[in-house]
A and B are shown apart, each in its own frame.
Chain A
Amino acid sequence: MATENSSMDEILKRFPQIKRNALIPLLQAVQDEFGYISEEAIARIGSHLSLPTSKVYGLATFYNQFSFSPRGVYHISLCNGSACHLGGSGDLFSELTKLLEIRDGETTRDGLFSLEVQSCIGACGQPPVMAINDTYFSGVGVKEVRDIIKQYREDAT
């Protein structure tokens, strides 16, 4: 907790100006640093920018980029762009929700996996596309997804 506080101080120091238009970059910095935005972070940002906590929370929940629970060790981004949709990303999604027992935007209880459906990663040439952290898997089917998740689970233990 102490380290979190001190790195929070660091981030706030980078935004010395108390301006409304610093709010989004600040939230992004927090998201990048911790992988999610905690309640404490929202409160501290609010007092730093002299904004009510409700305003900060209202803004953060409006945008897709911010998440409010810690990400898993393996963060899965599944593309659901139009090409990936035609390519069967819906099947992958239901397979992943079944395998991991989480929904979009959630993290597994053991903190190993988190799942996020993205609107379009932009690699429409090789649908469907899935990414785990920075590793991409293109043109995968349901069976491959099962194997990939199994492999990652084994690697973790």
Chain B
Amino acid sequence: MLPDKEFILKLARSAPTELSPEDQERSDLLKKVSLLRPLVMVNCSTSGVVAGAKQTWEAIENYVSDRSIDIDLAETGSIGLSSEEPVVSVQLPGRTRLFFSKVTADRVPNMLDDLFHHVVPDQKLIGQLRQSGHEPWSDLPYLDEIPFFALQNRIVMGDCGIIDPFSMGEYIVGGGYKAFLQTIRSLTISEVCDLVVASGLRGRSGGGFATGLKWKAAFNTPSDQKYLICNAEESDPGAFMDRNLMEGNPFLLLEGISIAAYAIGSNRAYIYIRSEYKDAIRKIKNAILQLRESGLLGDNIMDSGYNLQISLRKGPGAFVCGEETALIASLEGKRGMPSSKPPYPSTSGYLGRPTVVNNVETLSNLPAIIRNGPQWFNGIGPEGCPGTKIFSISGRVRISGLVEVPMGTTFNTIVNEIAGGVETGRELKALHVGGPAGCMVPAEMMDVPVSFESLKSNELVMGSGGILVMDDKTCVVNTVKYFMDYVDKQSCGKCIPCREGTRRMAEILRSIIRKSTDEEGHTTLELFKGVMQLESLAEVMKDTSLCGLGQNAPNPVLSSLKYFRHEYEEHIFDRKCNSNTCTELRSWFIDVDMCTGCSICAKRCPTEAIIGTARHPYFIVQQKCIGCGICYEVCKFTAVYYK
């Protein structure tokens, strides 16, 4: 059911109390305040589908058709608990909505049996949603009371996982598009820019540049055509906040884009999205269609005289295209290589015209800023860095997922209090913050508040906000090597410091975590020389690379050398990886009691390091062993083990 133009205008203009009874009823239905039949919502976004949400969906469909029960079945985005998927929420008419975790297909019948008899099932319950005018379930925690949500401030992500991302009506009756209509009807272009400058909003993709100032530069450059580009090329491994926002609440992003486009005087906007984000693409396409049909996009929007076209462009996949000049080159149909700044895109960007590139999270902040005013936004978080930031937490942590907290929250709160810390019995070693261009934060620095300034003064970076949690069983050198390999592959090759520097760094790191066939001579010395070269190489790359990719690529190396130098030394001098992650440094042995002398390992060993006579226990000559582990794999008697 698409709300028509009149209805949208009525909602945008009037307070909820002023609506006529029919409109009120209509709005309540859309808002899921009054339900005609039970509502079941399944998170079918990427994180849900990977955990089996499609099968859960089918199981629910089968359940209700077998018993001919009439329900509404709808999709949601992810509520942020990625490791608890598939998350299913159920709302019975008149009652508050309940959220359940890990609802796999086999658990569906029992769960729904109980719920339809008004019994709270034995399933893993997350909590109930606080909804006024609904009878709450007694003795059950509210979502905002459980630790994961209690410490968050979900301004941007608030509706993700709650609303149906395909329903424009639901977004609009929840207060959506009020901000945009207010903008185009009562604010001039420069007023919007001033308002955003006053709010102090800064870019969320890592740089932290003031959004309002970027807009002003574009607005002040005269041109016949200006462009707004939404950067949805989220390619940091371990960062998924933008994807989640687009999958959970695509209309919020589109409203933000509309406001930003108006503010720079542009009527052409592009969303440059990763082609792998199929679910987000599907949802945004659908959202654009619905908005066009109801007149919130297109020519003469709501009779304001303002025209806006938003189109979707799929990025063909290159990490460097997250950099704005490279992104623009890619949109123009060229290789995605960055160019030197100035000229900045805000004066000469896409097709040589003034262009503003903002990221998904930044743009999704705008509707709330317009609705509540810049002072409200300024009041959240520390001075100079207001608002919230979404962090994606993954790795060796109890709850992987998305956390939105006010700027200035400490790492300790984010990782230990909200995400539950590392598994019992393990010890937190470090956090890797900000993806391949990010930094290692040792466990001792967990009390650092996360804001652009405080991180900078501690020589750390925020990056896009991916936090990889590492416990005592993770190897720092191996993780750094992983990121360096990634950057090496993704370097576009335009400037030499980045192209060659990342390759050499990856080589040096690889040699550290690999056993040399010839441990004689000066190998250890050579390796250590390599580490010293890492530092000087990093300095050169930082100073001379063309874009942020090369300038920030040495960050993981430098920060890990600063805080975890002993691990490098262990790898180099002891030829040992204490966390047992670097497979090639493992020493392999044969258990004499288990070995039957079948000789299969000796036959398969590529370096002929295993000797012995048939039907007697074999022996591995350590000096010859390269640690490939083939013997371990082929042994049928589990006699091979490593230390």
* A contact residues vs B (CB 8 Å cutoff): 19-25, 27-28, 58-59, 62-66, 80-83, 85-86, 90-91, 118-127, 129, 136, 138
Contact = CB atoms under 8 A, between A and B. Distances in A.
Contacts of A83: 237-238, 394-395, 400, 468
Contacts of A27: 316
Interface in B30-47: 46-47
- Which secondary structure dominates where chain A touches chain B? mixed
B165 interface: no
22 contacts: A19-B333, A23-B333, A25-B313, A25-B314, A63-B316, A63-B317, A81-B237, A81-B238, A81-B394, A82-B395, A82-B482, A83-B238, A86-B470, A86-B479, A90-B583, A119-B319, A120-B236, A120-B240, A121-B46, A125-B83, A125-B394, A129-B50
Contact of A64 (B318, B330, B435, B470): B318
A82 B483 contact: yes
B513 to A, nearest CB: 11
B275 A28 contact: yes
Contacts of A81: 237-238, 394
Contact of B50 (A19, A62, A64, A138): A138
Nearest first, the 4 A-B pairs at minimum CB distance are: A125-B82, A64-B317, A124-B394, A83-B394
B49 A136 contact: yes
Contacts of B82: 123-126
B466 interface: yes
A111 B104 CA distance: 34
A66 B316 contact: yes
A123 B46 CA distance: 7
A136 B86 CA distance: 13
Contacts of A63: 316-318, 336
Contact of A122 (B85, B243, B317, B331): B243
B474 interface: yes
B396 interface: yes
Nearest to B239: A120
Interface string B175-191: 00000000000000000
B316 A125 contact: no
A155 to B, nearest CB: 18
B468 A59 contact: no
Contacts of A24: 313, 316, 330, 333
B332 A125 contact: no
Contacts of B583: 90-91
B237 A82 contact: yes
A150 B482 CA distance: 29
B117 to A, nearest CB: 32
A146 B640 CA distance: 20
Contacts of B396: 86
Given A59-B333, A138-B51, 6 more contacts: A28-B314, A62-B318, A64-B316, A82-B479, A83-B395, A85-B237
Interface of B: 46-47, 49-52, 81-85, 235-240, 243, 275-277, 313-314, 316-319, 330-336, 392, 394-396, 400-401, 432, 435, 466, 468, 470, 474, 479, 482-483, 486, 490, 492, 583
A62 B243 CA distance: 24
A62 B336 contact: yes
Contacts of A86: 395-396, 468, 470, 474, 479
Contacts of B317: 63-65
Nearest to A135: B54
A122 B395 CA distance: 13
Nearest to A130: B50
Nearest to A138: B50
B269 to A, nearest CB: 15
Nearest to A49: B333
B335 A59 contact: yes
Contacts of B50: 121, 123, 126, 129, 136, 138
A149 B31 CA distance: 46
B333 to A, nearest CB: 4
B47 A119 contact: no
Nearest to B85: A125
Nearest to A136: B50
Contacts of B51: 123, 125-126, 138
A83 B50 CA distance: 15
A129 B51 CA distance: 10
A82 B463 CA distance: 15
Contacts of B240: 120, 122, 124
Nearest to A77: B276
Nearest to A27: B316
Contacts of A22: 333
Nearest to B482: A85
B624 to A, nearest CB: 21
Given A19-B333, A122-B46, A82 B238 contact: yes
B154 to A, nearest CB: 18
B429 to A, nearest CB: 12
B581 to A, nearest CB: 9
A119 B235 contact: yes
Contacts of A125: 47, 51, 81-85, 394, 400-401
B316 A124 contact: no
B232 to A, nearest CB: 12
A80 B237 contact: yes
Contacts of A127: 394
A20 to B, nearest CB: 4
A19 B238 CA distance: 36
Given A86-B479, A119-B319, A124-B238, A65 B275 contact: yes
B99 to A, nearest CB: 16
A122 B235 CA distance: 9
A20 B331 CA distance: 9
A24 B330 CA distance: 8
B80 to A, nearest CB: 10
Nearest to A98: B633
A82 B432 contact: yes
Contacts of B335: 58-59, 62
B316 A122 contact: no
B238 A123 contact: no
A82 B235 contact: no
A82 B275 contact: no
Which of A125, A127, A138 has the most chain B CB within a 10 Å cutoff? Answer: A125
Nearest to B81: A125
A41 B46 CA distance: 32
Nearest to A139: B51
B136 to A, nearest CB: 29
B284 to A, nearest CB: 15
Max count, chain A CB within 10 A of own CB: residue among B51, B331, B474: B51
B394 A82 contact: yes
Contacts of A91: 583
Nearest to A21: B333
Contacts of A80: 237
Interface centre among A28, A62, A81, A122, by most chain B C-beta atoms within 10 angstroms, is: A122
